[in-house]
Amino acid sequence: MTLSRSLTRVVVGEHHCRVLVEVPDLDPGAWRRLTADPTLSWRRIGAPRAGAAPDAPSGAPVERRAGTAVGPRAGAPVPLRRRRGKVEAPVRRDRPAGRDPSAPVPALLEVTGSATGVATVAQRRLAVRALSRLRAAGLTGEVVGTGPADAPACAPPSVRVWPAGRRATLWAPAEQDELDRRFALLAAAWPGLSGRSPRVGAPDEARVRARVDGAAALCLLPLLLMVVPTAGPWWDSRRWVLVLTAATVCVGLPLLVVHHLAERRRFFGSVRRRILVAAPALLLMLLLTRVLVAVPVPPLVVAAAAGLALAVATPVALRTVPALGTEPGARLAVLAVPAMLVLAAVPVGELLVENYLAPLGLRPADVTLTVAQRWLSGALFGLCALAAAVVAVATWGWAHRSDGSERLRRPPPAPVLAVLGVVLVAGLFAACAAVAGNRAAPDRGGLPGSWIGVTPTWVCWSVPGGPAGAPFVGRALPPAGQATVWLGGASGRQTLWSPESGGVTIADPVRLLLRDGPGPCP
C-alpha cells in the first residue's frame, strides 16, 4: 500500500460496503475472471426473477474465496474443478429439463469490499469498481442497490479476548478447560510468556481496566491540574516552578505506596505501570507548554491551526460516531458539545477581553464592545475546544479500527473521561487567555497589539481648560505633550494608556488627534 493511500485511509476513512448487481448471464469462465480480483468478494445469491432456477440449491449463496467455493451448508468448501492446470467453477445444474443450454441464466451477485469516503460516497465508489470488474470480465450488469456491510470480525462471536501475560492475549471461548488448554499451547510455543491462565469467573477485562485507569488518574491528578496554571498567564516562572515541584511530590507519594503494594497484588502493578508511563509524559508536556505559551502568537494563527485540525479530523470523527452509538449519550454529545460552545462564546469572550486588558491596567467596562465582538472573542476558544474534541474522537476511532485485540475498542470509563474533559477545557481556556495576555505586550514601537473589538491607536489628547482639571480614574494622567495610546471609550469616558501611567479613563469632553506613531504632540 502506498503512502498516499495510507494517508487517505486515515484521513478520509474506510467503509465496508456491499453492492447488489444483476447480470443477464454468468458462465464458469466469466466467474473465474470475475473473482480474480482479491480486493472484492463475490457471492452468487440466486435467480433474480421468477422462472429462473437458482445457481445453488434452495437459493443459498455461493462465495468464491481464494480458489474455493463456499457452499450453502455450514460453509462446507466445494473443491473447484481443475482442467488443464486451470481452476474452474463447478458445472451449473440449474437449468430445467428441456431448456436450451445456450439460453442466458440471470444471476444476482453481491459484491463486498472496502472503499474510502463517507458512507454514501464509499458505496458509490464500490459500485463503480464492481461494474468496472464486470466489464473487464466480459459481462454486463446493473446495480440493484448498495448498503453497508459488517466489518470483518477479529474473532468469532463465541470467542473472547483474554489477557495472558504481558502484552499477550489469548483468544478462547468462556470455558475454563479450553482456556487452560489454549494457554498451555501459548506457554509451550512462547517460552517467555509470563502469567497464568485467565479465570472465567474473574472480573471482566473492561472493568479491571476501568479501575486501573481510575486509580492511575487519581494519583496523577496534581500533575493533570497543573495544565491550567501552565497554559495560563497568571503565574510567573518562579511561582510556577514551586507549584510544579509540589505537584510532583504529591504524585510521588502515592507512587511509593502503590509500588509497595504492587508486590502483593497484580492490580497495583498495573496502576504502577500507568503512573510510570504517564507521569514523565505529563512533565514533558508541561515543560513544552510553558515554553510555547511564552511565544506571542496572533489569534488568527491559532484560529487557522484549529480550523485545519478540525477540517482534517472531522471526517474520521464522524465515522467513529456510529461505533460509539452503543455508549450512553454518545450521539447526544455530538450535538450538545457544539451547541454549548456556541452559547458559552459570549461569557468566555468577556473573560478573554478581561485577560487582554488586565496587563494594561484596564477593565472590560472601560471599552465598548458589541455582543458580536464579544462572541467572536469567545469563538476562538470554542473553535480550539471543538477541534480538540474532534481530534480526540478521531484518535480513538483510529485506534478502534486498527486494534485487533479489542483493548482499545472501548472508550475510557466515564469518570476518567469527565476528569480529562474538564482539565482539557480548562487548559484550552488558559491557553486562549495566555494568547490574549500576550497580545497586550507592546511592540518595538510601544503600541500594544490589537484584540477583537479593541484596536490601539496613537493619539494626542487635550481637554478644555487644561489637563490639570480633567477628572480621571487611574494612577496618573498620561503626559499631554506626548502621543498616547487610545483604546476606545465607554459611558462618556475615553480610555488611554501610556507606559508611564498605565491605563486611565478620562471623562469627556476629550479632544483626540490621530498620530502615525509616538512622539511629541504639536
State the average pLDDT over residues 349-378: 89
pLDDT band for position 340 (50/70/90)?
Answer: confident
pLDDT digits (tens, 9 = 90+) for 79-124: 444 444 444 444 444 444 455 555 556 778 888 988 876 667 778 8
pLDDT at 430: 92
pLDDT band for position 498 (50/70/90)?
Answer: confident
State the average pLDDT over residues 65-91: 40
Residue 398 has pLDDT above 90, yes or no: no
pLDDT at 251: 92
- Cα separation, 11 vs 117, in Å, equals 9
State the average pLDDT over residues 254-259: 90
In the numeric block, which cell numbers belong to residue 153? 470480525
pLDDT at 328: 56
- Picking from 49-53, 329-333, 486-490, which range would have the lowest pLDDT averaged per residue? 49-53
Strand partners, 383: none
pLDDT at 11: 59
pLDDT at 12: 59
pLDDT at 87: 40
In the numeric block, which cell numbers belong to residue 351? 473573560
- Cα separation, 81 vs 95, in Å, equals 19
State the average pLDDT over residues 428-449: 87
Concatenate the DSSP letters of all residues of 247-300 into one string: HHHHHHHHHHHHHHHTTT-HHHHHHHHHHHHHHHHHHHHHHHHHHHHTS---HH
CB-CB neighbours of 335 under 10 Å:
9
Strand partners, 18: 112, 147
Average pLDDT of the chain is: 77
- Picking from 96-110, 421-435, 446-460, which range would have the lowest pLDDT averaged per residue? 96-110
State the average pLDDT over residues 174-191: 81
Q: What percent of the chain has pLDDT over 70?
A: 74
Residue 315 has pLDDT above 90, yes or no: no
pLDDT at 71: 37
pLDDT at 15: 73
Residue 166 has pLDDT above 50, yes or no: yes
pLDDT band for position 235 (50/70/90)?
Answer: confident
Residue with cell string 451448508: 73
- Cα separation, 124 vs 126, in Å, equals 5
Using the CB atoms, write b or e for 178-187: b if 16+ within 10 Å: ebeebbeebb
404: left (phi over 0), alpha (psi -120 to 50) or beta: alpha
* Highest mean pLDDT of the ranges 16-25, 92-101, 204-213, 404-413: 16-25
Residue with cell string 504481558: 166
277 burial (CB, 10 Å; 0-12 / 13-18 / 19+) is exposed
- Cα separation, 178 vs 458, in Å, equals 82
- Crossing angle between the packed helical segments 414-439 and 205-219, to the nearest 10 degrees: 40
Residue 152 has pLDDT above 60, yes or no: no
Give 320 or 425, the one with higher predicted confidence.
425
Give 143 or 264, the one with higher predicted confidence.
143
In the numeric block, which cell numbers belong to residue 127? 459500485
Residue with cell string 508511563: 277
Residue 25 has pLDDT above 70, yes or no: yes
Give 46 or 396, the one with higher predicted confidence.
396
pLDDT at 343: 87
Strand partners, 116: 14
At 152, the amino acid letter reads P
Q: What percent of the chain has pLDDT over 90?
A: 12
pLDDT band for position 144 (50/70/90)?
Answer: confident
Residue 310 has pLDDT above 60, yes or no: yes
Residue 385 has pLDDT above 70, yes or no: yes
pLDDT digits (tens, 9 = 90+) for 459-490: 888 887 666 667 788 777 887 778 888 888 88
Phi then psi dihedrals of residue 372, to 5 deg: -65, -40
Strand partners, 107: 23
pLDDT at 406: 47
For residues 105 and 95, the answer to whether their CB atoms sit within 8 Å is yes
In the numeric block, which cell numbers belong to residue 204? 471482566
E-assigned strand segments in 130-276: 142-148, 160-163, 169-172
pLDDT at 32: 84
H or E stretch covering 109: strand 107-116
Residue 299 has pLDDT above 60, yes or no: yes
pLDDT band for position 287 (50/70/90)?
Answer: very high
Give 12 or 290, the one with higher predicted confidence.
290
Residue 67 has pLDDT above 50, yes or no: no
- Cα separation, 435 vs 458, in Å, equals 23
State the average pLDDT over residues 1-11: 58
State the average pLDDT over residues 208-227: 86
pLDDT band for position 250 (50/70/90)?
Answer: very high
- Picking from 129-138, 163-172, 279-288, 290-299, which range would have the lowest pLDDT averaged per residue? 163-172
Please tell me whether residue 117 adopts helix, strand or coil conformation: coil
